[in-house]
Structure 1
Amino acid sequence: MQIQHYCALGDSITDRRNQLVSKWYQDWLVEWWQPAKTSLLAVSGSTVCAEFDSMAARSRMIPDDCDLLTIYGGINDFGRSQPLGRFGDTLNTTFYGALDQLLRSILREHPQTAVYFISHVRIGTGFFPATNQFGLQQADYEQAIAQVTAAYAVPHLSLYHSWLNFATPSLAERYSLDTLHPNDAGQLAIAHLIDDFVKIH
């Protein structure tokens, strides 16, 4: 796999500036993939929606020569109670609409880029509660991600449906800091899951 410019768009799971761990998943990927260039477009606490450092807005910073892009997001839209909306929304004031806008604009502006969307593992209640202010659960936002990525034929790695489950106490203790953020072992596990997924898609 020859990658020239790898770009990672994300939130605190991706943002190296928060110093939560010593090595992030994208650091492992860079080590394994050996791209000529790397761009990190991550802001802790950011949402896909408009309210908190919108990923839809930040996607405008993706370099023209990016040939592989991972988008790791959505968990803060659930946890920070962004309106879910419904399939068919196109405005970034709802999660469905912001995700539609994000993917539509990236695919239009970067037609040669391989784009992968990563949704977070099933989380526990150590950081966010089980339901948000709208009475919605992580699974509701996961369903939205599955629907919108399928509509745009963007490969979707659902860590929510992977073996890595932070709602399981034994796995959370081994792989997470707070049932939301992965620790060093969690970041490495995520890196392996992404690497395996990209290789077959």
Structure 2
Amino acid sequence: MQIQHYCALGDSITDHRNHLVDKWYTDWLDEWWQPTKTSLLAVSGSTISSEFDSMAERARMIPDTCDLLTIYGGINDFGRSQPLGRLGDSLNTTFYGALDQLLARVLREHPQTAVYFISHVHIGHAFFPVANAFGLQQSAYEEAIEQVTKVYGIPHLSLYHSWLNFVDPELATRYSLDTLHPSDAGQYAIARMTADFVKAHPYTSV
């Protein structure tokens, strides 16, 4: 598939206005994919659920011309203590419900777009604590992503289950700025895994 318009919906991992790195994962993808146009729909600190600049709502900004979309989110829903909810929720006040809304909207409004969901690496505890205000760990939100993306048949790149683990002090030092945000090396690693994942999961229009 020749990508014409690449769109990246996300938070601070994607927002070029945040943090000091020279090259973001989207820059690497631009270099490798060479789309005609790239749109960054990223806001630092945003959640998928409704509390903080909801990605479920911001998905309305995805252009009709977008033919490949990556959604990179969920870590702030954990770290900023958004209610988790349960599978089957449809209101955007819970993580499950907002994620359901987000994916349903994207598939409904952009049926010809190749959609991929990226969940963040297993983070350390220098930025967010090990458990949020509900006593939940990152793994609970990761499980929600696994379940809801499966319901909608959206390919899910789980960096949480990858080799890039910011809990590991050596890996965190090399690949992160603060055990949450990727360094230049971390951004490259994420780009490489994303490109490989997209290649391994080509989109076929129904």
Same fold? TM cut 0.5: yes
SS in 2 for 1:16: coil
- Structure-1 residue corresponding to 2:88: 88
- Structure-2 residue corresponding to 1:156: 156
- Structure-2 residue corresponding to 1:74: 74
Structure 1: gaps of 5 or more residues: none
Answering whether residue 5 of structure 2 is matched by residue 5 of structure 1, we say: yes
Q: Write the deviation string for residues 31-73 of structure 1: whole angstroms up to 9, x where unpaired.
A: 0000001100000000000000000010000000100000000
Superposed counterparts of 1:20-169, under 5 Å: 20-169=20-169
Which amino acid counterpart does residue 97 of structure 1 have in structure 2?
G
Identity %: 79
Q: Figure out how many residues of one structure are paired with residues of the other and give that number.
A: 201
SS in 2 for 1:127: coil
TM-fit CA distance, 1:126:
0.6
Answering whether residue 170 of structure 2 is matched by residue 180 of structure 1, we say: no
CA distance in 1 between counterparts of 2:188 and 2:115 reads 21
TM-fit CA distance, 1:19:
3.9
TM-fit CA distance, 1:75:
0.2
CA distance in 2 between counterparts of 1:137 and 1:20 reads 27
CA distance in 2 between counterparts of 1:19 and 1:94 reads 28
CA distance in 2 between counterparts of 1:149 and 1:48 reads 14
CA distance in 2 between counterparts of 1:128 and 1:122 reads 11
Q: Write the deviation string for residues 130-155 of structure 1: whole angstroms up to 9, x where unpaired.
A: 00000000000000000000000000
Q: Normalising by the residue count of structure 2, what TM-score does the alignment of the two structures yield? A: 0.97
SS in 1 for 2:118: strand
Answering whether residue 15 of structure 2 is matched by residue 15 of structure 1, we say: yes
SS in 2 for 1:17: coil
Which amino acid counterpart does residue 26 of structure 2 have in structure 1?
Q
Which amino acid counterpart does residue 164 of structure 1 have in structure 2?
L
Which amino acid counterpart does residue 4 of structure 2 have in structure 1?
Q
TM-fit CA distance, 1:22:
1.1
Name segments (4+ residues, structure 1) moved above 3 Å: none
TM-fit CA distance, 1:18:
1.3
The alignment's C-alpha RMSD in Å is 0.5
CA distance in 1 between counterparts of 2:61 and 2:22 reads 26
Answering whether residue 187 of structure 2 is matched by residue 200 of structure 1, we say: no
